[in-house]
Amino acid sequence: MSLFILSQILIGIAIVSDIITFQFKKRVHILSFLLFSSTMISMHFMCLGHWTAACLTLLGASRYITSLFSTSKKILAVFMVVTVIISALTFEGLLSFLGCTGALFGCMATFSSEDKHLRQFMFICTSIWIVHNYLAGSPGAVLKELIFMSSNMIGYYRYYFRPRIQPLP
């Protein structure tokens, strides 16, 4: 089996996790599924040899673990600095720039104390990663991000836009 095929299998597993992720309301559930998904995505990028993205998604996994226990802005700042450092150390041009930018929005999402803000920042983060994954040549990763974005939008609609139906007296 080629590394490309393995990468697409790993991203397929991440897709299943992402479909489930934003159908939860509780932040802890959202972040737990993002932790698993990030691990699969990191291995996917390792198979493709995109080291900035691989390192940033592993950092993202540790960020999700940390944010389960704290939404401290000081810890957010540390993760943002580490994101920039990793991106600089593994710099591969435009892909690294896009990955860094997407990861910075992911940091802000992760350390948002309200799931509404988490979802809004994740929408921006996901939009950037769609472009990154297209340029990186991973159709599975583009599909994953599109599904992730759709799931986020559906969850956002369900919790913040859908009119509340009042039971008849």
At residue 165, the pLDDT reads 57
Q: How far apart are CA 68 and CA 110, in angstroms?
A: 9
Q: How does the average pLDDT of the chain come out, rounded?
A: 90
Q: In this prediction, what percent of the chain has a pLDDT beyond 70?
A: 95
Q: Which residue has the higher pLDDT, 24 or 62?
A: 62
pTM across the whole model: 0.85
DSSP 11: H
At residue 43, the pLDDT reads 96
At residue 164, the pLDDT reads 63
Instruction: Report the range out of 11-20, 33-42, 82-91, 114-123 with the highest average pLDDT.
Output: 82-91
Average pLDDT over residues 53-63: 95
At residue 54, the pLDDT reads 97
List, in order, residues 6 or more apart from 108 with CB less than 8 Å away: 76, 121
Residue 105 to residues 6, 124, 144, 162: CA-CA distances in angstroms?
A: 28, 7, 18, 26
At residue 121, the pLDDT reads 95
Per the document, the length of the chain is: 169
At residue 110, the pLDDT reads 87
Statement: residue 166 has pLDDT above 80: no
Statement: residue 82 has pLDDT above 90: yes
List, in order, residues 6 or more apart from 111 with CB less than 8 Å away: 63, 67, 71, 72, 73, 75, 76, 79
Which residue's entry shows tokens 């000081």? 74
pLDDT (tens digit per residue) in 105-146: 999 998 888 888 988 999 999 999 999 999 999 999 999 999
Number of CB atoms found within 10 A of residue 53's CB: 31
Statement: residue 48 has pLDDT above 90: yes
